[in-house]
Structure 1
Amino acid sequence: MSSAPPRNTAHLTFRDAREEDVPALVALVQSAYRGEESRLGWSSEADLVGGIRIDADGVRSIIGAPGSRLVVVADGGETICCFQLERRGEWAYFGLFAVRPGLQGAGVGRHVIGAAEEMARAEWAAREVRMTVIAQRVELIAWYERCGYRRTGRLSPFPYGDERVGTPLRDDLVFEELVKALG
Protein backbone atom coordinates (compact mmCIF):
# COMPACT_ATOMS: atom_id res chain seq x y z
CA MET A 1 0.00 0.00 0.00
CA SER A 2 1.21 3.50 -0.79
CA SER A 3 2.39 5.77 1.98
CA ALA A 4 0.65 8.90 0.67
CA PRO A 5 0.11 11.48 3.40
CA PRO A 6 -3.40 11.59 4.86
CA ARG A 7 -5.62 13.88 2.83
CA ASN A 8 -8.25 16.21 4.24
CA THR A 9 -11.50 14.83 2.83
CA ALA A 10 -13.82 17.43 4.41
CA HIS A 11 -13.89 19.58 1.27
CA LEU A 12 -14.59 16.85 -1.28
CA THR A 13 -17.65 17.44 -3.43
CA PHE A 14 -19.89 14.78 -4.96
CA ARG A 15 -22.06 15.21 -8.06
CA ASP A 16 -23.54 13.13 -10.82
CA ALA A 17 -21.38 12.79 -13.92
CA ARG A 18 -22.32 14.71 -17.06
CA GLU A 19 -21.44 14.30 -20.72
CA GLU A 20 -18.59 16.80 -20.44
CA ASP A 21 -16.99 14.59 -17.73
CA VAL A 22 -16.64 11.57 -20.02
CA PRO A 23 -13.04 12.13 -21.25
CA ALA A 24 -11.75 12.92 -17.75
CA LEU A 25 -13.52 9.88 -16.28
CA VAL A 26 -12.14 7.51 -18.93
CA ALA A 27 -8.64 8.85 -18.18
CA LEU A 28 -9.14 8.61 -14.39
CA VAL A 29 -10.40 5.03 -14.51
CA GLN A 30 -7.63 3.98 -16.88
CA SER A 31 -4.98 5.58 -14.67
CA ALA A 32 -6.30 3.85 -11.55
CA TYR A 33 -6.61 0.36 -13.05
CA ARG A 34 -4.27 -0.16 -15.99
CA GLY A 35 -0.96 0.85 -17.48
CA GLU A 36 2.16 2.32 -15.93
CA GLU A 37 0.40 5.25 -14.24
CA SER A 38 -1.73 2.79 -12.26
CA ARG A 39 1.44 1.43 -10.66
CA LEU A 40 1.83 4.76 -8.79
CA GLY A 41 -1.05 3.59 -6.57
CA TRP A 42 -1.34 0.36 -4.65
CA SER A 43 -4.45 -1.11 -6.32
CA SER A 44 -3.35 -1.54 -9.94
CA GLU A 45 -4.55 -4.55 -11.88
CA ALA A 46 -1.97 -3.96 -14.63
CA ASP A 47 -0.34 -7.35 -13.99
CA LEU A 48 -3.69 -9.12 -14.48
CA VAL A 49 -5.39 -7.26 -17.32
CA GLY A 50 -3.98 -4.98 -20.00
CA GLY A 51 -5.58 -2.56 -22.41
CA ILE A 52 -8.55 -0.35 -21.68
CA ARG A 53 -10.69 -0.59 -18.55
CA ILE A 54 -13.64 1.37 -19.98
CA ASP A 55 -14.17 3.54 -23.04
CA ALA A 56 -16.23 6.69 -23.57
CA ASP A 57 -19.31 4.73 -24.70
CA GLY A 58 -19.10 2.60 -21.56
CA VAL A 59 -19.04 5.69 -19.35
CA ARG A 60 -21.95 7.23 -21.28
CA SER A 61 -23.99 4.05 -20.87
CA ILE A 62 -23.62 4.26 -17.09
CA ILE A 63 -24.49 7.97 -17.03
CA GLY A 64 -27.67 7.33 -19.02
CA ALA A 65 -28.82 4.09 -17.39
CA PRO A 66 -32.02 4.17 -15.34
CA GLY A 67 -31.45 3.40 -11.66
CA SER A 68 -27.73 4.07 -12.00
CA ARG A 69 -25.51 6.94 -10.93
CA LEU A 70 -21.95 7.67 -11.90
CA VAL A 71 -20.64 10.02 -9.24
CA VAL A 72 -17.72 12.40 -9.69
CA VAL A 73 -15.72 13.27 -6.58
CA ALA A 74 -13.75 16.50 -6.77
CA ASP A 75 -11.37 18.44 -4.59
CA GLY A 76 -11.36 22.14 -5.41
CA GLY A 77 -12.91 21.46 -8.81
CA GLU A 78 -10.33 18.78 -9.68
CA THR A 79 -11.75 15.29 -10.34
CA ILE A 80 -9.92 12.86 -8.07
CA CYS A 81 -12.31 9.91 -7.80
CA CYS A 82 -15.45 8.34 -9.24
CA PHE A 83 -17.81 5.47 -8.53
CA GLN A 84 -20.98 3.89 -9.83
CA LEU A 85 -24.04 3.02 -7.80
CA GLU A 86 -26.82 0.97 -9.35
CA ARG A 87 -30.13 0.23 -7.67
CA ARG A 88 -30.98 -3.47 -7.75
CA GLY A 89 -34.08 -3.96 -5.64
CA GLU A 90 -33.21 -4.01 -1.94
CA TRP A 91 -29.49 -3.73 -2.58
CA ALA A 92 -27.12 -1.48 -4.51
CA TYR A 93 -24.25 -2.44 -6.77
CA PHE A 94 -21.01 -0.48 -6.26
CA GLY A 95 -18.54 -0.37 -9.10
CA LEU A 96 -16.20 1.60 -11.36
CA PHE A 97 -14.46 2.86 -8.23
CA ALA A 98 -11.35 4.80 -9.16
CA VAL A 99 -9.11 6.99 -7.02
CA ARG A 100 -6.28 8.95 -8.64
CA PRO A 101 -3.19 6.76 -8.11
CA GLY A 102 -1.17 9.41 -6.27
CA LEU A 103 -3.96 9.75 -3.70
CA GLN A 104 -4.40 6.04 -2.99
CA GLY A 105 -3.49 5.24 0.58
CA ALA A 106 -4.35 8.76 1.79
CA GLY A 107 -7.86 8.03 3.12
CA VAL A 108 -9.77 9.29 0.08
CA GLY A 109 -11.06 5.86 -0.92
CA ARG A 110 -12.29 4.95 2.55
CA HIS A 111 -14.09 8.30 2.86
CA VAL A 112 -15.68 7.99 -0.58
CA ILE A 113 -16.86 4.41 -0.14
CA GLY A 114 -18.53 5.43 3.13
CA ALA A 115 -20.29 8.28 1.35
CA ALA A 116 -21.41 5.92 -1.44
CA GLU A 117 -22.87 3.48 1.10
CA GLU A 118 -24.74 6.34 2.77
CA MET A 119 -26.14 7.48 -0.60
CA ALA A 120 -27.40 3.96 -1.33
CA ARG A 121 -29.02 3.70 2.09
CA ALA A 122 -30.53 7.19 2.22
CA GLU A 123 -31.67 7.53 -1.41
CA TRP A 124 -32.73 3.97 -2.23
CA ALA A 125 -33.25 2.39 1.20
CA ALA A 126 -30.66 -0.20 0.16
CA ARG A 127 -30.14 -2.85 2.81
CA GLU A 128 -26.75 -3.87 1.49
CA VAL A 129 -24.07 -2.98 -1.03
CA ARG A 130 -22.54 -5.59 -3.31
CA MET A 131 -19.61 -5.48 -5.67
CA THR A 132 -17.48 -7.81 -7.71
CA VAL A 133 -13.69 -7.80 -7.64
CA ILE A 134 -11.22 -9.88 -9.60
CA ALA A 135 -10.53 -12.65 -7.06
CA GLN A 136 -6.78 -12.53 -7.72
CA ARG A 137 -6.65 -8.92 -6.40
CA VAL A 138 -5.91 -10.13 -2.88
CA GLU A 139 -4.69 -6.77 -1.48
CA LEU A 140 -7.77 -4.97 -2.75
CA ILE A 141 -10.14 -7.58 -1.33
CA ALA A 142 -8.34 -7.34 2.02
CA TRP A 143 -8.85 -3.55 1.94
CA TYR A 144 -12.57 -3.98 1.27
CA GLU A 145 -12.74 -6.46 4.16
CA ARG A 146 -11.20 -3.81 6.43
CA CYS A 147 -14.01 -1.50 5.21
CA GLY A 148 -16.61 -4.02 6.44
CA TYR A 149 -17.23 -6.08 3.30
CA ARG A 150 -17.27 -9.85 3.41
CA ARG A 151 -16.51 -12.39 0.76
CA THR A 152 -19.58 -14.37 -0.30
CA GLY A 153 -17.71 -17.11 -2.15
CA ARG A 154 -19.93 -16.47 -5.18
CA LEU A 155 -17.77 -16.40 -8.29
CA SER A 156 -18.57 -15.29 -11.82
CA PRO A 157 -16.49 -15.69 -14.96
CA PHE A 158 -14.19 -13.00 -16.31
CA PRO A 159 -15.46 -11.88 -19.75
CA TYR A 160 -12.64 -13.36 -21.81
CA GLY A 161 -12.80 -12.18 -25.41
CA ASP A 162 -14.65 -8.94 -24.60
CA GLU A 163 -12.20 -6.23 -25.66
CA ARG A 164 -14.37 -3.57 -23.94
CA VAL A 165 -12.91 -4.71 -20.58
CA GLY A 166 -9.31 -5.22 -21.64
CA THR A 167 -6.98 -8.06 -22.43
CA PRO A 168 -6.50 -10.66 -19.68
CA LEU A 169 -2.87 -11.51 -18.97
CA ARG A 170 -3.78 -14.75 -17.15
CA ASP A 171 -6.19 -17.55 -17.95
CA ASP A 172 -7.53 -18.06 -14.42
CA LEU A 173 -9.31 -14.74 -13.72
CA VAL A 174 -12.71 -14.77 -12.02
CA PHE A 175 -14.80 -12.21 -10.18
CA GLU A 176 -15.76 -12.68 -6.53
CA GLU A 177 -18.77 -10.99 -4.98
CA LEU A 178 -18.31 -8.95 -1.80
CA VAL A 179 -21.20 -7.67 0.31
CA LYS A 180 -21.75 -5.27 3.19
CA ALA A 181 -24.96 -4.91 5.18
CA LEU A 182 -26.04 -1.32 5.72
CA GLY A 183 -27.41 -0.24 9.10
Structure 2
Amino acid sequence: MDTTAHQAPGELVFRDAVESDAEALVALIESAYRGDSSRAGWTTEADLLEGRRTDPEGVLAVVTDPGSRLIAVERDGELIACCQLEHRGDAAYFGMFAVRPRAQGGGLGKVIIAEAERLARETWQVREMHMTVISVRDDLIAWYERRGYRRTGRMTPFPYGDERFGIPQRDDLRFELLLKEL
Protein backbone atom coordinates (compact mmCIF):
# COMPACT_ATOMS: atom_id res chain seq x y z
CA MET A 1 0.00 0.00 0.00
CA ASP A 2 1.10 3.50 -0.72
CA THR A 3 2.10 5.48 2.35
CA THR A 4 3.70 8.46 0.63
CA ALA A 5 4.61 11.43 2.76
CA HIS A 6 2.13 13.82 1.06
CA GLN A 7 -0.79 13.40 3.42
CA ALA A 8 -2.76 16.13 5.09
CA PRO A 9 -2.72 16.39 8.89
CA GLY A 10 -5.38 14.12 10.36
CA GLU A 11 -5.56 12.00 7.20
CA LEU A 12 -5.66 8.23 7.68
CA VAL A 13 -2.82 6.10 6.36
CA PHE A 14 -3.53 2.40 5.73
CA ARG A 15 -0.48 0.17 5.43
CA ASP A 16 0.48 -3.45 5.78
CA ALA A 17 1.86 -4.11 9.24
CA VAL A 18 5.42 -5.36 9.52
CA GLU A 19 7.09 -7.51 12.16
CA SER A 20 8.45 -4.48 14.04
CA ASP A 21 4.82 -3.32 14.60
CA ALA A 22 3.94 -6.40 16.69
CA GLU A 23 4.32 -4.92 20.19
CA ALA A 24 2.42 -1.73 19.31
CA LEU A 25 -0.36 -3.76 17.66
CA VAL A 26 -0.71 -6.01 20.71
CA ALA A 27 -0.96 -2.94 22.94
CA LEU A 28 -3.60 -1.41 20.66
CA ILE A 29 -5.70 -4.60 20.51
CA GLU A 30 -5.48 -5.15 24.26
CA SER A 31 -6.46 -1.52 24.95
CA ALA A 32 -9.58 -1.86 22.80
CA TYR A 33 -10.89 -5.08 24.36
CA ARG A 34 -9.42 -5.85 27.76
CA GLY A 35 -8.94 -4.20 31.11
CA ASP A 36 -9.99 -0.83 32.43
CA SER A 37 -8.49 1.10 29.50
CA SER A 38 -10.94 -0.63 27.16
CA ARG A 39 -13.90 0.82 29.07
CA ALA A 40 -13.16 4.23 27.50
CA GLY A 41 -14.55 2.80 24.26
CA TRP A 42 -17.68 0.81 23.49
CA THR A 43 -16.02 -2.35 22.09
CA THR A 44 -14.76 -3.57 25.45
CA GLU A 45 -15.06 -7.24 26.33
CA ALA A 46 -13.85 -6.60 29.89
CA ASP A 47 -17.11 -7.86 31.42
CA LEU A 48 -16.99 -11.05 29.34
CA LEU A 49 -13.32 -11.96 29.32
CA GLU A 50 -10.23 -11.29 31.38
CA GLY A 51 -6.66 -12.00 30.42
CA ARG A 52 -5.21 -11.26 27.05
CA ARG A 53 -6.85 -10.89 23.65
CA THR A 54 -3.70 -11.59 21.64
CA ASP A 55 0.07 -11.76 21.98
CA PRO A 56 3.11 -10.91 19.85
CA GLU A 57 3.24 -14.46 18.46
CA GLY A 58 -0.38 -14.26 17.30
CA VAL A 59 0.18 -10.90 15.65
CA LEU A 60 3.40 -12.07 13.98
CA ALA A 61 1.62 -15.18 12.66
CA VAL A 62 -0.84 -12.92 10.82
CA VAL A 63 1.83 -10.46 9.64
CA THR A 64 4.01 -13.23 8.16
CA ASP A 65 1.23 -15.42 6.69
CA PRO A 66 1.22 -14.97 2.89
CA GLY A 67 -2.57 -15.50 2.84
CA SER A 68 -3.23 -12.72 5.37
CA ARG A 69 -2.74 -9.02 5.75
CA LEU A 70 -2.71 -7.10 9.01
CA ILE A 71 -3.61 -3.54 8.16
CA ALA A 72 -2.20 -0.83 10.42
CA VAL A 73 -4.10 2.46 10.40
CA GLU A 74 -2.26 5.60 11.42
CA ARG A 75 -3.20 9.25 11.86
CA ASP A 76 -0.44 11.83 12.20
CA GLY A 77 2.10 9.03 12.66
CA GLU A 78 0.18 7.38 15.53
CA LEU A 79 -1.19 3.84 15.31
CA ILE A 80 -4.92 4.22 16.00
CA ALA A 81 -6.48 1.08 14.52
CA CYS A 82 -5.86 -2.25 12.84
CA CYS A 83 -7.64 -5.15 11.20
CA GLN A 84 -6.79 -8.54 9.78
CA LEU A 85 -7.78 -9.79 6.34
CA GLU A 86 -7.33 -13.46 5.51
CA HIS A 87 -7.99 -15.01 2.11
CA ARG A 88 -10.32 -18.02 2.36
CA GLY A 89 -11.29 -19.08 -1.15
CA ASP A 90 -14.27 -17.02 -2.37
CA ALA A 91 -14.34 -15.12 0.94
CA ALA A 92 -12.07 -13.01 3.08
CA TYR A 93 -12.07 -13.24 6.86
CA PHE A 94 -12.12 -9.95 8.77
CA GLY A 95 -10.70 -10.06 12.28
CA MET A 96 -8.36 -8.56 14.85
CA PHE A 97 -10.27 -5.28 14.41
CA ALA A 98 -9.31 -2.70 16.99
CA VAL A 99 -9.72 1.06 17.29
CA ARG A 100 -8.02 3.00 20.07
CA PRO A 101 -10.76 3.40 22.74
CA ARG A 102 -10.73 7.21 22.82
CA ALA A 103 -11.05 7.28 19.00
CA GLN A 104 -14.19 5.08 19.01
CA GLY A 105 -17.65 6.40 18.31
CA GLY A 106 -16.65 9.02 15.75
CA GLY A 107 -17.08 7.09 12.50
CA LEU A 108 -13.52 5.77 12.21
CA GLY A 109 -14.64 2.12 12.33
CA LYS A 110 -16.99 2.63 9.36
CA VAL A 111 -14.14 4.04 7.29
CA ILE A 112 -11.79 1.19 8.23
CA ILE A 113 -14.24 -1.62 7.51
CA ALA A 114 -15.16 -0.07 4.14
CA GLU A 115 -11.46 0.13 3.23
CA ALA A 116 -10.93 -3.49 4.37
CA GLU A 117 -13.81 -4.63 2.16
CA ARG A 118 -12.36 -2.71 -0.80
CA LEU A 119 -8.91 -4.20 -0.23
CA ALA A 120 -10.31 -7.75 0.03
CA ARG A 121 -12.27 -7.34 -3.22
CA GLU A 122 -9.34 -5.83 -5.10
CA THR A 123 -6.61 -8.07 -3.67
CA TRP A 124 -8.34 -11.45 -3.83
CA GLN A 125 -11.49 -10.84 -5.93
CA VAL A 126 -13.58 -12.35 -3.13
CA ARG A 127 -17.38 -12.25 -3.10
CA GLU A 128 -17.97 -12.30 0.66
CA MET A 129 -16.48 -11.01 3.87
CA HIS A 130 -16.78 -13.29 6.91
CA MET A 131 -16.18 -12.57 10.58
CA THR A 132 -16.97 -14.18 13.90
CA VAL A 133 -18.36 -12.23 16.85
CA ILE A 134 -19.11 -13.40 20.37
CA SER A 135 -22.85 -14.06 20.09
CA VAL A 136 -23.80 -12.15 23.27
CA ARG A 137 -22.27 -8.92 21.88
CA ASP A 138 -25.63 -7.57 20.70
CA ASP A 139 -24.42 -3.96 20.38
CA LEU A 140 -21.43 -4.96 18.28
CA ILE A 141 -23.47 -7.32 16.09
CA ALA A 142 -26.02 -4.52 15.54
CA TRP A 143 -23.17 -2.20 14.46
CA TYR A 144 -22.02 -4.76 11.87
CA GLU A 145 -25.61 -5.29 10.70
CA ARG A 146 -25.86 -1.55 10.01
CA ARG A 147 -22.85 -2.03 7.73
CA GLY A 148 -24.55 -4.78 5.73
CA TYR A 149 -23.43 -7.89 7.62
CA ARG A 150 -25.99 -10.52 8.46
CA ARG A 151 -26.21 -13.10 11.17
CA THR A 152 -26.00 -16.67 9.93
CA GLY A 153 -26.93 -18.54 13.11
CA ARG A 154 -23.80 -20.67 12.52
CA MET A 155 -22.08 -20.97 15.87
CA THR A 156 -18.70 -22.30 16.95
CA PRO A 157 -17.82 -22.96 20.55
CA PHE A 158 -15.71 -20.54 22.55
CA PRO A 159 -12.33 -22.18 23.32
CA TYR A 160 -12.87 -22.51 27.08
CA GLY A 161 -9.65 -23.52 28.81
CA ASP A 162 -7.38 -21.92 26.19
CA GLU A 163 -6.17 -18.73 27.87
CA ARG A 164 -4.75 -17.45 24.57
CA PHE A 165 -8.33 -16.28 23.91
CA GLY A 166 -8.94 -14.85 27.36
CA ILE A 167 -10.42 -16.07 30.62
CA PRO A 168 -14.23 -16.26 30.26
CA GLN A 169 -16.37 -14.63 32.95
CA ARG A 170 -19.52 -16.40 31.69
CA ASP A 171 -20.33 -19.93 30.60
CA ASP A 172 -22.51 -19.06 27.57
CA LEU A 173 -19.91 -17.66 25.15
CA ARG A 174 -19.73 -18.81 21.56
CA PHE A 175 -18.89 -17.27 18.20
CA GLU A 176 -21.43 -16.50 15.49
CA LEU A 177 -20.45 -16.20 11.85
CA LEU A 178 -21.50 -12.94 10.23
CA LEU A 179 -21.17 -12.39 6.51
CA LYS A 180 -21.59 -9.72 3.89
CA GLU A 181 -21.73 -10.06 0.14
CA LEU A 182 -19.19 -7.74 -1.44
TM bucket (normalised to shorter chain) is over 0.9
> C-alpha displacement at 1:9, in angstroms?
10
> C-alpha displacement at 1:26, in angstroms?
0.4
> C-alpha displacement at 1:66, in angstroms?
2.1
Does the alignment pair 1:75 with 2:84? no
Gaps of 5+ in 1: 1-7
Q: What is the letter of the counterpart of residue 126 of structure 2?
A: A
Check whether the contact 2:10–2:76 (CA below 8 A) recurs between aligned residues.
no
Q: Partner residue of 1:5?
A: none
Q: What is the distance in 2 between the residues matched to 1:122 and 1:19? A: 24
Check whether the contact 1:17–1:70 (CA below 8 A) recurs between aligned residues.
yes
Kindly, what percent of the aligned residue pairs are identical? 59
> C-alpha displacement at 1:45, in angstroms?
0.7
Does the alignment pair 1:62 with 2:62? yes
Q: Partner residue of 1:25?
A: 25
Q: What is the distance in 2 between the residues matched to 1:159 and 1:43? A: 20
Q: Partner residue of 2:137?
A: 137
| Count of residues in correspondence between the two structures | 175
Check whether the contact 1:54–1:164 (CA below 8 A) recurs between aligned residues.
yes
Check whether the contact 1:121–1:127 (CA below 8 A) recurs between aligned residues.
yes
Q: Deviations over 1:133-172 (max 9, x none)?
A: 0001110000000011000110000011111111011111
Aligned positions of 1:109-128 closer than 5 A? 109-128=109-128
Check whether the contact 2:10–2:75 (CA below 8 A) recurs between aligned residues.
no
Gaps of 5+ in 2: 1-7
Q: What is the distance in 2 between the residues matched to 1:91 and 1:9? A: 35
Does the alignment pair 1:180 with 2:180? yes
The RMSD of aligned alpha carbons is 1.3
Q: What is the distance in 1 between the residues matched to 2:134 and 2:85? A: 18
Change in 2 beyond 3 A, CA 1:10/1:144: farther
Report SS of the residue matched to 1:161: coil
Q: Which aligned runs of 4 or more in structure 1 are off by greater than 2 angstroms?
A: none
